[in-house]
Amino acid sequence: MEIIRDPLWNNIRVEPFILRLVDTAVFQRLRYVRQLGLAHLVYPGASHSRFEHALGAYHLARTALGILGERGELAPESAADGGLVRAAALLHDIGHYPFSHALEEIGVPLHEEVAGPLILGPELAPLLRAEFGDEAPARVLALIRGHSDSPLAGLISGSVDLDKIEYLKRDALMCGVPYGEIDVDRLLHALVVLNDPARNRAAIGITDKGLSALESLLFAKYQMYRNVYWHHAVRSATAMYKRLVEDALRAGAIRIGELVSHTDESLLAELRRAAPSALLNGLQRRTLWKRAAEAPAAELGDRDLEWIAVDRDRARALEDAIARRHGLAPGDVLVDYPAKTQMLGLELPVRIRDDRIVALTAAGLPGAVNLPRLADEFYRSARWLRVFARERITMRLAEVLDT
C-alpha cells in the first residue's frame, strides 16, 4: 500500500491496482478540474479538484467495505464485487467537464454518459480487465451510472452513496464554512446489506441507529446548497460560463466532443482564442453580472417554471428579449433557476430494532423525522429564480413570470 496524505481524511492507503488507474492520463486530468466549478470566485479556498475528491471517495469505499466485511455482511459474490466498487468509487467522476456540473445545465451529455468511452477505452479498460476479468469495465460503468444489480451498488449511486458524504465534507472544509458537519463514522457503521422490500433483492440500507446520522447528511447538503453551491454570486458566474460556452458551441468555435478532454484553464484559453467575449472577460476579471430580480422557489406558487432549467432555446429567447427591452446586448441578461433532480431525495431500506425491514420513501417513516418531506422543503428554500444583468437595471420579476 502507498500512503497519500489528505487534508480531510489524513492518510489514504492506496492499493497497487488503484495506483495504476490513478497514473492514467484520463484520471490525471481531474487534477485540473475544480470540484466546485466557479465557487472559488466567492470562496477563495474552493480550488480543490475532482482528483482529491475521487481519492476520498475511494477511501470511503475501502472503509465501508471493511466495516461490512468485518461484520460478515458480504456474501461471497458481494465480496468479489468489492474491488469493482473501489474502482467505481475512484472513477465515478472521470467524465466530468471543466468547471464541474455547469455545462450539463445547457444540455450536453451527463458526465456519467461521457464516462462510458473513457472507462471502456484504451487506458482504463485493459487495466480493469486484467484485474477483474473481461466484464469488469462494463460492470464498473454500470455501478457509476446506477444500473448495476450488485448488492453494493448503493455505495456508488444511491441516497447515502459515498460520493455525497465525501464531497460535502471536503467542500465545507475547503470553503471554510461550518455547514458540512456529518456524522460520517456513525453513518458508515450504520450501513448494512439487507433485502430491499421495494426491489426484492439484496441492497445497501441502514439501521435505525443511523437515522440521526442520515439527518446530519441532509442538513449539511441543504446548507451547502443554500450557502455555497447556489450562492447568488456563484450562480451568476455559472450562468455567465454556461452562456459563454453555449454561444461558442452554437457558433462552431468549439465542439461538444472536445469538452471532456479539456481542463478548466485549457478550455478558458481555447475560448479566449476562438470565442472572446464580454462574458469571458467578466469571469476572468471577476466582474460578475449583478442581480436584477430574484425570488425563492417557495414564493413562486404553482407556476410552471421548470422550462427555464431544461429548455435552453426558450430560456435564451427570454434572456435576449429582456436584454432588448433594457437596451442591452444578447448575453447581457441571464435568467437562472437551478435544478437538481432529487437533490435531497431518499429511497432506501431501514432495518429497525425488531429486525423488520421497512422502506424509507416519500411517505416518511413512522416514529422518525419525516426526512423526505423535510428534503422537499429544503429544496424549495435553497432554490431561487434570479435574473442577472451586466449593467445595473431595474426590472420586475413579472418580466419572467408572465412569459
Q: Is residue 155 part of a domain?
A: yes
Q: Is residue 298 part of a domain?
A: no
Contacts of 182 (CB under 8 A, 6+ apart): 165, 168, 169, 213, 216, 217, 220
Q: Is residue 70 part of a domain?
A: yes
Q: Is residue 326 part of a domain?
A: no
* 366, pLDDT greater than 60: no
Per residue in 4-54, pLDDT (tens digit) is 999 999 999 999 999 999 999 999 999 999 999 999 999 999 999 999 999
Q: Is residue 377 part of a domain?
A: no
- Axis-axis angle for helices 162-175, 50-70 (nearest 10): 130
Provide the domain count of the chain.
Answer: 1
Domain of 245: which CATH number?
1.10.3210.10
- pLDDT band, very low/low/confident/very high, at 226 (cuts 50, 70, 90): very high
Question: Which of 29-38, 88-97, 290-299, 347-356 shows the lowest per-residue confidence on average (mean pLDDT)?
Answer: 347-356
Per residue in 194-204, pLDDT (tens digit) is 988 877 888 99
Q: Is residue 305 part of a domain?
A: no
Determine the structural domain holding residue 68 and report its residue range. 1-176+231-287
Q: Is residue 382 part of a domain?
A: no
List residues bridging with 387 in a β-sheet.
293, 335
Q: What angle is formed at CA 235 by the lines to CA 234 and CA 237, rounded to 5 degrees?
A: 65
Q: Is residue 348 part of a domain?
A: no
Q: How far is CA 220 from CA 20, 168, 227, 232, 255, in A?
A: 34, 7, 10, 19, 37
Helical (H) or strand (E) element with 384:
strand 384-389
Contact 350, 205 (CB under 8 A): yes
* Grid cell locating 341: 433532480
